[in-house]
Amino acid sequence: MRRLLCGAGAACLVAPTILHAAPGDGLSGLKMAMMKGACTQLIVGGKDLTGQCKPSLINNAYRSGRSSFMFGLGEDKMVSFFGVDSQAMGDQAILTVDEIGVATGHSDGTAQRKAHKVKGSCNYTNPYAGPSRIHCAADGFDGHYAVEFVSDGRPPDVVQLP
């Protein structure tokens, strides 16, 4: 199955988590939430790519309790922070990040994904209570990964697979 994602001002990409779900995750019940906002920092493998970060994100939530935050950069690349979600405490929740996925390519079948094992976390606030703030930081053998994103305050657009 292929699903096209089009971020604000970005070319359509094949969603890397649809092509290559995180280990043990089925796609049944996958919930995808898309938000627009401002990406104020994006570090991938120690390289500052903030200027290429698109003003949108996709949050995938699996029935297994795993989740990811996906950020587009450039015309053909996405970076995903994967892990296990915590229960929200008040307005905040934490995603314990254990993998970074870097996908390149387009919807023409050239999409490829590379996984990077890491340890880190994403702290985020409720996207239905005004602007949501997402801060992720993780480190692995191949470097440091980080992102800062603030939504525009509108509720996310949500799609759920049956």
More confident residue, 24 or 96: 96
Give the pLDDT of residue 6.
Answer: 37
Q: Is 69 left (phi over 0), alpha (psi -120 to 50) or beta?
A: beta
Structure tokens at 79: 């970076």
Helix/strand/coil percent split, the chain, to 5: 5, 60, 35
Structure tokens at 106: 């387009």
Residue 99, amino acid: E
- Nearest CA to 80 out of 52, 31, 114 is that of 114
d(CA 46, CA 34): 26
d(CA 104, CA 121): 23
Give the model confidence (pLDDT) of 40-52 as tens digits. Answer: 999 999 999 999 9
Model pTM? 0.81
Is residue 123 pLDDT above 60, yes or no? yes
Give the pLDDT of residue 3.
Answer: 34
d(CA 92, CA 106): 34
Is residue 15 pLDDT above 70, yes or no? no
Give the model's confidence band at 111: pLDDT under 50 very low, under 70 low, under 90 confident, else very high. Answer: confident
In the chain, % of residues over pLDDT 70: 81
Is residue 26 pLDDT above 60, yes or no? no
Give the pLDDT of residue 2.
Answer: 29
Is residue 21 pLDDT above 60, yes or no? no
Is residue 162 pLDDT above 90, yes or no? no
